[in-house]
Amino acid sequence: MLEVARFLAQHPPFAGLTAGVVEHLAGSTQVEFFQPGDMILEAGGEAAAFVYVVRRGSVDVSDAGRVVDRLEEGDVFGFVSLFSGEPPSHDVTAHEETICYLLDPVGAQEAFAAPAGLSFLSTVGESHAGQRAVGLDVVGDLPLAELLELEAGSSAGDAARAMTAAGVTAAVVVGPEGRGIVTDRDIRARIVASGVDASVAVESIASFPLVGVGHDEPVDVALEQMLSMGVHHLGVERGGAIVGILSDLDLLRRERRDAFLLRSEIDRASSVADVGRAGLRIPQVVAPLVRTGVDARHIGVVVAALTDALVAKLLVLAQADLGQTEAPFAWLALGSCGRREQALSTDQDHAVVFTDGADEQHFVRLGQFVADGLALAGIPRCSSRVMAAEEGWHGSETWWRIRLADWMKVAEPKATFLTGVAFDARRVVGSLDVTDLFAVAAWDARRSPRFLRRLARLVVDMEIPVGFLGGLVTHDDGERDVLDVKHGGIHPITEMARLFALEAGSRSLTTPGRLSDAAGSGIIDDDRAASLTEAYELLSDMRLVHQVDQVTSGIAPDNLIDPKGLSQFQRRSLRDAFRVIRQVQREFAERTRPRVGGH
CATH of the domain at 226: 3.10.580.10
Q: Is residue 276 domain-shared with residue 407, that is, in the same domain?
A: yes
Whichever domain contains 81, its CATH number is: 2.60.120.10
pLDDT at residue 599, rounded to an integer: 44
Last residue of a domain, one of 191, 215, 248: 248
The most confident of the ranges 144-148, 285-289, 334-338 is 334-338
| 84-93, 110-119, 141-150, 174-183: least confident range | 110-119
pLDDT at residue 394, rounded to an integer: 96
- Regarding predicted confidence, which is higher, 138 or 277? 277
Q: Is residue 244 domain-shared with residue 259, that is, in the same domain?
A: no
pLDDT at residue 596, rounded to an integer: 41
Whichever domain contains 311, its CATH number is: 3.30.460.10
pLDDT-above-90 percentage for the chain: 41
Kindly report the number of other CB atoms within 10 A of residue 240's CB atom: 6
Whole-prediction pTM = 0.65
Q: Is residue 478 domain-shared with residue 555, that is, in the same domain?
A: yes
Dist CA 474 CA 498 (whole Å):
27
Amino acid residing at 105: P
Query: Is the residue at 439 inside a domain?
Result: no
Q: Is residue 124 domain-shared with residue 146, that is, in the same domain?
A: no
Q: Is residue 105 domain-shared with residue 157, that is, in the same domain?
A: no
13-26: b (≥16 Cβ within 10 Å) or e: bbebbeeebbbbbb
Q: Is residue 262 domain-shared with residue 294, that is, in the same domain?
A: yes
Mean pLDDT calculated for residue range 477-492: 88
pLDDT-above-70 percentage for the chain: 91
Dist CA 204 CA 107 (whole Å):
72
In angstroms, the first-to-last Cα distance of the chain is 70
Last residue of a domain, one of 401, 434, 467: 434
Q: What is the pLDDT of residues 109-148, one digit of tens each?
A: 878 776 667 656 644 543 343 333 333 467 876 767 678 9
Q: Is residue 264 domain-shared with residue 122, that is, in the same domain?
A: no
Q: Is residue 470 domain-shared with residue 551, that is, in the same domain?
A: yes
Mean pLDDT calculated for residue range 180-201: 80
Query: Is the residue at 452 inside a domain?
Result: no
Q: Is residue 321 domain-shared with residue 379, that is, in the same domain?
A: yes
pLDDT band at 198 (very low <50, low <70, confident <90, very high): confident
Query: Is the residue at 445 inside a domain?
Result: no
pLDDT beyond 80 at 335? yes
Q: Is residue 187 domain-shared with residue 318, that is, in the same domain?
A: no
Q: What is the pLDDT of residues 2-44, one digit of tens each?
A: 789 989 988 888 887 888 889 889 999 999 999 999 999 998 8
pLDDT beyond 90 at 553? no
Q: Is residue 263 domain-shared with residue 410, that is, in the same domain?
A: yes
Query: Is the residue at 559 inside a domain?
Result: yes
Query: Is the residue at 170 inside a domain?
Result: yes
Query: Is the residue at 450 inside a domain?
Result: no
Q: What is the pLDDT of residues 206-216, one digit of tens each?
A: 888 899 999 88
pLDDT beyond 80 at 478? no
Q: How wide is the angle at C-alpha 296 spanned by C-alphas 234 and 569, nearest 5°?
A: 140
pLDDT at residue 348, rounded to an integer: 95
Query: Is the residue at 553 inside a domain?
Result: yes
Mean pLDDT calculated for residue range 245-251: 76
Q: Is residue 165 domain-shared with residue 259, that is, in the same domain?
A: no
Kindly report the number of other CB atoms within 10 A of residue 30's CB atom: 11
Last residue of a domain, one of 111, 130, 149: 130
pLDDT at residue 468, rounded to an integer: 61
Total tally of structural domains belonging to the chain: 4
Determine the longest span between alpha carbons in the chain, in angstroms.
Answer: 88
Range of the domain at 166: 139-248
Mean pLDDT calculated for residue range 45-49: 91
pLDDT at residue 249, rounded to an integer: 67
Query: Is the residue at 444 inside a domain?
Result: no
